[in-house]
Amino acid sequence: MRKEMNRETAIAKAEAYFNNGFFFKDLARRVAYPTESQNKDRVSELRDYLEKEIWPYLDKMGFTCRIVKNPVNQRLPFLIAQRIEGETLPTVLTYGHGDTVWGMEGSWRPGLEPWRLIKKGDRWYGRGTVDNKGQHTINLAALNLLLREQGKLGFNVKVLIEIGEEMGSPGLHEICTQEKDALRADVLIASDGPRIDPYKPTIFGGSRGVFNFDISLNLREGEHHSGNWGGLLANPGIILAHAISSMVDSRGKILVEALRPDGISEPIQKALAELEVTGAQGPDIDSDWGEPGLSLAEKVYGWNTLDVLALECGTPANPVHAIPSSAWARCHIRFVAGSHPQGFIAAVRKHLDEHGFEQIQITEIRNNNGMATRVSPDNPWVKWAIGSFEKTTDKKTAFLPNLGGTLPNDAFSDILSLPTIWVPHSYGGCSQHAPNEHLLAPIAREGLRLMTGLFWDLAEHPPN
């Protein structure tokens, strides 16, 4: 006969799992899979992560698993699993991605490497430790702990793991449409991204969208001597720089009206007023950058931004005394819910034409993914999750209606019509997508406590 647990002993079991090294062991095994989805040579490694790592783990928990073919990219299949305990019980869908960006071997600090989990104090280094293997490992482990001790969860769980998120989640929206009945649930509870502060439990409800486009100007064939032709030939770099300055001013304010949101609603303003953006353990914040009159939280979570990601004119690696023939820039918009990205290109075209830049070409980058999504602070699932976290930690929980970054959350909120609760188990200084990516051990430990308490509360006291 299994010993009855209470909430406190369940959370203590989660801490013991961490303190005894079992979490490290599970994560080390997963980090060892070199799951670079952007590397076309990685085929068996990606599938093995699903079939040899996640499937057996879920199978031991009583889940029924299957691999689903990706209708967009066959190299990047999905794993769908479910454990149904009762048709009248609440059902949670949880999600994660097993793929990573490039390992960047040789660029990590001495003694570190991407495909081996290495502990240096409170920092656990390895590719995928936070994006996203460590994060979904925490959530699955919390479920496993409750099952091992009680033999049941008290609710139903469905799991969706993809291995193409770092390529823009090709096929995810199609799978959510194709498998809509199989993925039907009451709520999405998943993890990705950073906390607003390393020491503050955080929940976010959605994410900003992302939209990339190129602007370019090609004036002539070849480059020409600047002494003989300077002052006679138009310089595409100068023209492109002025075009950019007509769209966004020297302090980052967007000047194209159609690229700006309509405003920030009162409930969102109220939620963002509770947040303190400090840039803890990250770069110093330029507080005078961006839309004037907004708080730091409003700038990054409540507003749109227009940035230049790359700019090229002439031969930057080896400049010569010649008037270049062309110039190019990659522009980047992060936008909040309520914006209309389908009209961005037309708006930029109209703006440039009106400012005398008719020659500049505009090209939308076709790998744009993810519409902006947002969850209201008044949503019952939000209030329930915050209450659970604050009961576990006695800390105030930060709630973001949406993350500043971009996730494919619209697949869940728009296609599956789910309220979405995201619980990040990382922080802004984790070196995500760079060499020396690492998980912060205190956040992982607290994440296990938070998720164990949350899943306990889902069985005992779900939202009405």
**pLDDT tens by residue, 8-61:** 999 999 999 999 999 999 999 999 999 999 999 999 999 999 999 999 999 999
Q: What is the pLDDT of residue 1?
A: 37
Provide CB contacts within 8 A for 357, sequence distance 6+: 239, 242, 243, 246
Is 403 found in the same domain as 344?
no
Q: What is the pLDDT of residue 5?
A: 81
Is 104 found in the same domain as 11?
yes
Is 157 found in the same domain as 13?
yes
In a domain, 275, yes or no: no
Provide CB contacts within 8 A for 267, sequence distance 6+: 376, 377, 378
Both tokens assigned to 263: 């405003």
In a domain, 272, yes or no: no
Give residue 326's domain range: 209-261+304-364
Q: What is the pLDDT of residue 280?
A: 64
Q: Which of 341, 364, 387 is the last residue of a domain?
A: 364
Q: What is the pLDDT of residue 464?
A: 79
User: Maximum distance among all alpha carbons in the chain?
Assistant: 92
Closest listed residue to residue 380, CA positions, set 301, 302, 297, 458:
458
Look up the CATH number of the domain holding residue 21: 3.40.630.10
What letters, b where the CB count within 10 A reaches 16 and e where it falls short, cover 262-286?
A: eebeeebeebbeebebeeeeeeeee
Is 224 found in the same domain as 98?
no
Please check whether residue 396 is in contact with residue 200, taking contact to mean a CB–CB distance below 8 angstroms.
Answer: yes
Q: Which of 345, 364, 383 is the last residue of a domain?
A: 364
Q: What is the pLDDT of residue 75?
A: 97
| pLDDT 10s digits, 254-290 | 999 999 999 999 999 999 999 988 866 678 899 999 9
- What residue ranges of the chain have pLDDT lower than 50? 1-2
Q: What is the pLDDT of residue 14?
A: 97
Is 428 found in the same domain as 317?
no
Q: What is the pTM of this model?
A: 0.91
Is 237 found in the same domain as 338?
yes
| pLDDT 10s digits, 152-175 | 999 999 999 999 999 989 999 999
Q: Which helix (H) or strand (E) holds 381?
A: helix 380-393
Q: Which of 364, 387, 413 is the last residue of a domain?
A: 364
Q: What is the pLDDT of residue 368?
A: 61
φ and ψ at residue 401, rounded to 5 degrees: -55, -30
DSSP per residue, 105-145: TT-SPTT--TTS-EEETTEEESTTTTTTHHHHHHHHHHHHH
Is 55 found in the same domain as 97?
yes
Is 322 found in the same domain as 248?
yes
